[in-house]
Structure 1
């Protein structure tokens, strides 16, 4: 059985340095950490969990919570990709993930009670909703916590630059000649929904575009059905838009369904942009132009923030905003200026 002493002997580093590298301490150089982790992988080192718990006074377990209004949890493509990246970054350090259940001995408990009972070292929360009491309770507790897809000045949080992504989307449509641009918005109770709506409003104002009130339609909680229903409302207008920026790819895909059902085509009749760049976005017809969230980096930054708190045994209030990228595919096309005022008859 491979031991920590074998890793030290192979790499030439002290047992103390190897231990610190495995626990992601900041005073180990990247060169040393890389060599040690490569040796761990090569030699198949697996620490004894019971001995490690007694030695380090840690459970080596991280709690995971999904709080989102569609109720699909891990099936959500964005959340799934983020947590997969998070898992890879903490797994190499020896941590296991515990997905929350609020039942303890057949009694319903809060997430905070659940994680105290399980003795987790920290908690990662994927949550887009403001003012969720369960999340606030965790953020106010002594348990190291990082929240993904939310903004706070009182806790460790990681989110995409939703505002900038929306701005880029509208800017791109404007560059194609579109002047009648609508927005299918995410729910106002979500951080992403608010930020993407704000980005849309700021960009259209900056570009001098007129946005009628009925050009901003609620897409509910970023669902395909929400996008479908919102697009039907836009199609019913006397002067519908020539382009639509949807606050999520699922909303955009639903909008495309409604457009086709009405006998029109994308992008010939309407240009559509989404947000997220879920895997399906590149495979639909036409492939969807969208704003890509860097789920790999979101997961890594979240893991780094949480491990930093666990190792220092101190909660921190730090915000990381991850850059976005506009991915141009085939769901938008240039529009000559005089066509932008045409209406559907």
Structure 2
């Protein structure tokens, strides 16, 4: 018995009564807008009824485009990245693109290998979410004219589009909230100093402390080696052991804040009666903690969507000047902050 013939684009075009080029445009989300809406709907319906499946590889050979972009993520276990990826996919999919995700584990060697893997797959550009201050790989990719968009940071000395939350204003909101409650000695458990996010937030903390005339004591900043619960706990233990007399903590991010909660439990401290805490990021489920965590909310899904739009713009017009977008943040007050103990 002869095999069932796979329907071709020509079959779809004939059945829909259109030219093959029109059928091709109607079936490609990136070019569908060039076709009359009724015609596009008719072609799609015919394609479905015939069981036609477009061949993206064949399309790529014709256009020298793969329809894929690479997403370079530093730590997939960090809850802030899935909503960013969701936002990216929301914009890529209607444009006919898909994303290939690689996880670098914050390891420069692994990152280099993963990026080379993406480039061997002919991705048309990269969305990079790593935040190392010293980043020779980015400089190399920029020199080689790889299209890139940075997420969560603006790289120094590299003119590429970026989408970043307004971290400095976010930290100022956190410190001001604690000051309004009456706290004078506020500690900062800072993120790693080899990441631009950690550096920007720590700098903004010291600057706001001075602006508000609070106790400006360098010993009240402890820097974590990692953006993690364990690192946050270790840093806070050291500060409590030094007996510095602080009554509130601004954590570098929510994971570090969770480490502070662990130390309160170890030492029989009550939050917020003995110590107030503010996180940063507004990860999922923070409202389920006891007490629910006051934090700075970042619109992660919007960041992903904006990053994808910037990259699609760069793919469409590689010579256009790099554009940077700064997104506003909001303070979310929950149960982990209160006036200092009397």
* Same fold per superposition (TM over 0.5): yes
Q: Does 2:55 align with 1:52?
A: no
Q: CA deviation at 1:238?
A: 3.0
Which of 226, 231, 234 does residue 231 from structure 2 map onto? 226
Which of 257, 281, 284 does residue 286 from structure 2 map onto? 281
SS at match of 1:272: strand
Which residue of structure 1 aligns with residue 30 of structure 2? 23
Q: Does 2:146 align with 1:143?
A: yes
Q: CA deviation at 1:2?
A: 12
Q: Does 2:273 align with 1:268?
A: yes
SS at match of 2:272: coil
CA–CA separation in structure 1 for the residues paired with 2:184 and 2:63: 61
Which residue of structure 2 aligns with residue 79 of structure 1? 81
Distance 1:325 1:46, change over 3 A: farther
Which is higher, the Rg of structure 1 or of structure 2?
2
Q: CA deviation at 1:15?
A: 5.4
Which residue of structure 1 aligns with residue 191 of structure 2? 186
TM-score, structure 1 normalization: 0.80
Q: CA deviation at 1:131?
A: 1.8
Distance 1:109 1:21, change over 3 A: closer
Distance 1:50 1:245, change over 3 A: same
Taking only aligned residues, the RMSD between alpha carbons, in angstroms, comes to: 3.4
Q: Does 2:125 align with 1:118?
A: no
TM-score, structure 2 normalization: 0.81
Distance 1:40 1:301, change over 3 A: farther
Which of 234, 237, 244 does residue 242 from structure 2 map onto? 237
CA–CA separation in structure 1 for the residues paired with 2:191 and 2:124: 33
Q: CA deviation at 1:315?
A: 6.5
Distance 1:200 1:63, change over 3 A: same
Aligned length: 313
Q: CA deviation at 1:288?
A: 0.3
Q: CA deviation at 1:132?
A: 1.8
Which residue of structure 1 aligns with residue 4 of structure 2? none
Which residue of structure 2 aligns with residue 64 of structure 1? 71
Structure 2: runs of 5+ lacking an equivalent: 1-6, 105-110
SS at match of 1:179: coil
Q: Does 2:98 align with 1:96?
A: yes
CA–CA separation in structure 1 for the residues paired with 2:103 and 2:337: 43
Distance 1:140 1:320, change over 3 A: farther
